[in-house]
Amino acid sequence: MSQKSSPENSVQDKTFLELVEELPPERESVIPALQKIQKSQGYLPEDALETIADYTDTPLANVTGIATFYSQFYLEPQGDHTIKVCQGTACHIKGADDILDELKRELDVKAGEVTSDGKFTLTNVRCLGACSLAPVIMVDEDVHGNLTTEKAIEVLEEYE
């Protein structure tokens, strides 16, 4: 178990441990533990990964590998709202690139970045599984389909 020297880290580690200790202390709990901490923090701080590794007796490299493999997990702080622009085949054919470009211009960020006010994180994803609604974006858990660049900007206004 890694030792932390600062009192703040001890308090933070305790919070992470409190979030995961209702789960069984085994490897099968890694993903649910990552989900719990991310839901609480908005992302996965390195201390949280260490706590999960220690609690589940899983090598830190494995926990980090899981956290970086799945696109649902974030290792950096995110905006208040996450915008996912689908780049699947149907969305691509129906103008997803134009929508992504327009959102980048409107928000003044690149894909993967957080706006300066911390309100939005813009990401692109391979597929959201809503091909019949192409092109599609997802803001947090809300799917918005049949978009144009203009409609995509109107969607943003719902979250400001």
Domain ranges of the chain: 7-69, 81-158
HSE-up (13 A, CA, CB side) for residue 60 = 10
Give pLDDT, residue 42. Answer: 87
Low-confidence residues of the chain: pLDDT under 50? 1-11
**The whole model's pTM is what?**
0.72
30-47 per-position pLDDT tens digit = 999 999 999 899 899 999
- Tracing tokens 């901490």 back to the chain, one arrives at 37
138-142 contacts, C-beta under 8 A, 24 or more apart: 138/83, 138/84, 138/86, 139/81, 139/82, 139/83, 139/84, 140/81, 140/82
Instruction: Provide CB contacts within 8 A for 55, sequence distance 6+.
Output: 17, 20, 21, 25, 29, 33
Distances (CA, A) of 88 to 92, 94, 109: 6, 10, 21
Fold classified for 7-69:
Arc Repressor Mutant, subunit A (1.10.10)
Give pLDDT, residue 14. Answer: 60
Fold classified for 81-158:
Glutaredoxin (3.40.30)
